[in-house]
Amino acid sequence: MSVQESKTKTIVVELYTPSDQQPPWPALGTARSIAIFSGSDESFEFARNCIQDCMSNATHGACRKSSQITLPTRLIDVQGNDQDIRLVELSGKKVEYITLSYCWGPGSAVTTTSTNLSQMRERIDWDTLPVLFQDAITITRRLNISYLWIDGLCIIQDDKKDWETESSKMSDIYEASYVTIAADTCKNNTHRCLVHRPKRLRLEYRNTRGKAFTIKARKVSNHHEAPEEDLAFQAQGPLSARAWALQENVLSPRILHYTETELTFECRTAYRCECNPIPKREATTPGLLPKLLLSTKQRTKVFRNWHRIVAQYTLRKLTVASDKLPAISGIAKKVSTATDSAYLAGLWNDNLIEDLLWASGPHLESPHLARRLNEYRAPSFSWASVDTQIQPFEEREGENVELSPHISIAQTSCTVSGLNPLGAVTDGFIDLCGPVAEATLVAPTRYEFEYHLVMTSGTTAVGISPDSLLVQDPVEDTTVSQQGTVRRGKEGESYNPFKARVWCLVVAGHSHGCISGLVLTKSLRVPGAYERIGYFSCGNDWLTGANKQEIRIV
């Protein structure tokens, strides 16, 4: 049943009788009562049972960890009392450990640095730890595990080399974990995950014969809804908006979700909740990670699943903008292994035609358009070069649309900036040959807001999906027409009407008779090269005005 909590919010309430009682009416079901405290003996018993069943069940083959896994350099030893917690380096020794997935807190929270590393090896002061870290230690101990991994404590935060080394191991760190603690509803590490849950409403009812029944009411958790194909448990709360947390979720073999209402267990094969500890709904399809571990004979499926992950990932937020590629590098490592394809700042060399045809999500008006980053993060052909929701080609044009390439790739390159071969980059380019048509990009008045293209050789107008806010630069290059050049807008710049000369690269034709391609502008950063500023899709008749050219996109 639904209850109007306020003028703008409705909550769904579940009515039930305890599972050890007979309901007074057939329409009223039974359910298991949930402990009022997430740190109760009952909750930990539920967690231990779920983990042990997953690890011992022969049907959970997807949940097994590989023997070829690199362990983290450091772990937190929690075996002693609160005064004996310390960082340890086990030098390759294989041990069980738990990982924490959480939202970072204020900058004043304790972290490991090159200055305090020696002290952290001797002892970590319990009283200096954020309460979420304290709860994670308590959970680790109650699950009878001796070691815990928390990024803020196990990675030296002011040591770039150590950060790059450990972040490049992220896929192994989470995949080798005994279980991941997901602090779903904690805004930051100053919030506890072991909390008292909302009180349940209890009613006593007697029927006409005088028999007593207990009826309870509680807020319905979101996992009662039909799960999406990829994720058995659709987490809600601050953690689900954090970019780093997506790969932590995908890579972990088992997860304990600490939510507002109950504890939920998820693995790659099944999921359970405290309100119904029996896994009555096994995941109908495996989670995202097993789909990325398909053989190289199924590369197309692996690449499509990568697109789906990117679409989810780009909805999430990063505290540090330069983490865009590192925060998904663990998943990229799995795709690289499965496909044996070169990685190009979020795109794959062996799937480049489809990968290039991403588009920014739908926009209603200029304030919602992304802005150009202040610092270089990725080549313009990569979705990682913008901060906006991304729509892969198949999501925009249809899963069953077949592509006929109109371009040939001559050379690709990306320069990695650190130790992580799938992490941040400092430069990149694609050299290709394909049909290019000149056009005028029109940014009309605000009241008609929709960027569109007009062919130089005609009057046909075609709408485009801009990668970000687009603005016009004054004419600085004498080879550019007097309309000036166009570029992605920076923070602080606003929408203004303009007309500018652009170049449209036809990347591929569709099986339903259309073509798709990229809107390009001349690069002011790299003379002679082009930069991507948008995506277009239109009828085949546009090809008549295009001539084959060799170009470089940076």
User: CB neighbours (10 Å) of residue 239?
Assistant: 25
What is the pLDDT at residue 368? 57
Closest CA to 356 of 516, 547, 546, 463: 516
- End-to-end alpha-carbon separation of the chain, Å? 55
- Residue 409: C-alpha distances to residues 161, 302, 332, 347 (Å): 34, 21, 22, 14
Tell me the domain boundaries of the chain: 2-35+198-222, 41-195+223-292, 340-553
404 exposure class (CB count in 10 Å sphere: 0-12, 13-18, 19+)? exposed
Do residues 216 and 17 lie in contact, with contact meaning Cβ atoms separated by under 8 Å? yes
Residue 294 CA to residue 296 CA, distance in Å, equals 7
Do residues 407 and 507 lie in contact, with contact meaning Cβ atoms separated by under 8 Å? yes
Residue 404 CA to residue 509 CA, distance in Å, equals 5
User: CB neighbours (10 Å) of residue 321?
Assistant: 11
Do residues 114 and 172 lie in contact, with contact meaning Cβ atoms separated by under 8 Å? no
Helix or strand holding residue 132 (H, E) = helix 131-142
What is the pLDDT at residue 478? 47
Residue 365 CA to residue 495 CA, distance in Å, equals 9
Per-residue DSSP letter, 61: G
What is the pLDDT at residue 399? 77
Residue 137 CA to residue 129 CA, distance in Å, equals 10
Main-chain phi, psi angles of 393, to 5 degrees: -55, -50
Q: Is 132 left (phi over 0), alpha (psi -120 to 50) or beta?
A: alpha
- pLDDT string in tens for the chain (554-residue length): 545 555 566 666 677 677 667 777 766 766 667 788 999 999 999 999 999 999 998 888 888 877 667 789 999 999 988 888 999 998 878 899 999 999 987 766 789 999 999 999 999 999 999 999 999 999 999 999 999 999 999 999 999 999 999 989 988 999 999 999 999 999 999 999 999 987 767 677 777 777 777 776 666 665 544 444 444 445 678 999 999 999 999 999 999 999 988 899 999 888 888 876 555 445 434 455 665 655 556 888 899 999 999 999 999 999 899 999 999 999 999 999 999 999 999 999 999 999 999 999 765 444 457 777 888 999 999 999 999 899 999 888 877 888 999 999 999 999 999 899 999 999 999 999 999 999 999 887 765 558 888 877 665 678 889 999 898 876 555 444 445 689 988 887 888 888 899 999 999 998 878 999 999 999 989 999 999 999 999 888 777 778 999 999 99
Residue 433 CA to residue 51 CA, distance in Å, equals 54
Do residues 543 and 462 lie in contact, with contact meaning Cβ atoms separated by under 8 Å? no
- Which residues on neighbouring strands pair with residue 254, listed in sequence order? 267
| Total residues found in the chain within this entry | 554
Q: pTM, whole model, 2 decimals? A: 0.87
